[in-house]
Amino acid sequence: MKKAIFPGSFDPITIGHVDIVKRGIKVFDEIIIAVGDNIDKKYMFPKEKRVEFVKQTFKNYDNINIESYDGLTVSFCKKNNIEFMIRGLRNPADFEFEKSIALTNREMTDIETIFFLTSPENSFISSSIVRDLIRNNGDYKLFIPKGITF
């Protein structure tokens, strides 16, 4: 059984994230969406709320599990016998950033990173943009999964 992790902060989850997970589940038998923290980021939503948003989004999927974690993603992967990591790429800058992380992870462990290009219609969506829309009373609902409310 092939199991993959899709790690991120999901602050908040967007339809771009959902797109990546739905395409990833066609390749993997199980995906663990791992909600973590990055000490360099200031979050709009606490981790518990972010986990709740992701659980609500994927509540009808038996082969998608949601967990929170602290520390290095590779440590979480080792602890849970995960060999594959899914990452979404929107643009060349994402690739350069993600490539460095993937190579570092592979040097430290045997974890392979699988990149999925975002669908063209979602390529501009980011959690940062959604947070900005929320702060400024913009129509953020176009970019988050249905059923999520703040």
Q: Is 41 a catalytic residue?
A: yes
Question: Which one from 23, 47, 90, 141 is the annotated catalytic residue?
Answer: 90
**Of 108, 55, 56, 58, nearest to 85 (Cα)?**
108
Q: Is 75 noted as a catalytic residue in this protein?
A: no
127 is catalytic: yes
Does the active-site annotation cover 17? yes
Q: Are 35 and 117 in contact (CB under 8 A)?
A: no
**Angle, vertex CA 32, rays to CA 97 and CA 133, nearest 5:** 60
For residues 98 and 113, the answer to whether their CB atoms sit within 8 Å is yes
- Please identify every residue annotated as catalytic: 17, 41, 90, 127
